Amino acid sequence: MLCLSACEHLKQDAKSVEASYQKSASDTVIYTNVVQVLQNIRRDLPSEARLIVLQGRVLLVGYVESAQEHIDVVNAVWKIKGVQEVIDHLEHVPTNEKTGFDIKNTFVKTQLDTLFLTNSAVHYGNFQYVIFKKNLYVLARTSSEAEKEAFYTIVKKTPTIQKVFFYSTYKQ
């Protein structure tokens, strides 16, 4: 009888892993579809906008050229199968005024990655983020309030970050 119970437990674990894999695979499909939508709207748009997809939630950060393009992007993303939420941080700015993504952001991201990887209180895979114009945009699936606080403690060690936009859900 004990073996049957243990076998049932293993089956439940396997189902949980499979569900988790399917969820991440669907996020990958959503990400690919969003990039394709952005390219259909304007060929160079994916290089001017950053996106993160986590659990069907899409975070958009960056530039669009007009209010109409902004509306077109958000509406198109909402139409993609599997999208549960669109978090919109797009700005419409003329091409000659775009300055958001640069090499400094890459350096800061590398610093943050190192801090996250060396802190055992933060599960690195739970956090995805983009740095844009000295702001940090985070989409997270935290396991506890303590993990969220540990993340904020790390971010506070990075003086170049001016503001944090944090969107999270708790893992189940």
Burial call 45-68: b when 16+ CB within 10 Å, e when fewer: bbebbbbbbbbebbbbbbbbbeee
3-state SS assignment for residue 101: coil
Q: How many CB atoms lie within 10 A of CB 140?
A: 22
Q: Is the dihedral of CA 117, 52, 165, 139 positive or negative?
A: negative
| Structure tokens belonging to residue 97 | 């005024």
pTM of the model: 0.71
Average pLDDT, the chain: 80
Cα gap 67→71, rounded to integer Å: 6
Residue type, 155: V
pLDDT for residue 1: 45
**pLDDT, tens digit, 9 for 90 and up, residues 79-138:** 999 999 999 999 887 666 656 566 667 778 888 888 888 888 888 778 888 888 888 898
Cα gap 85→109, rounded to integer Å: 25
**pLDDT, tens digit, 9 for 90 and up, residues 47-69:** 888 899 998 999 999 888 888 99
Residue type, 31: Y
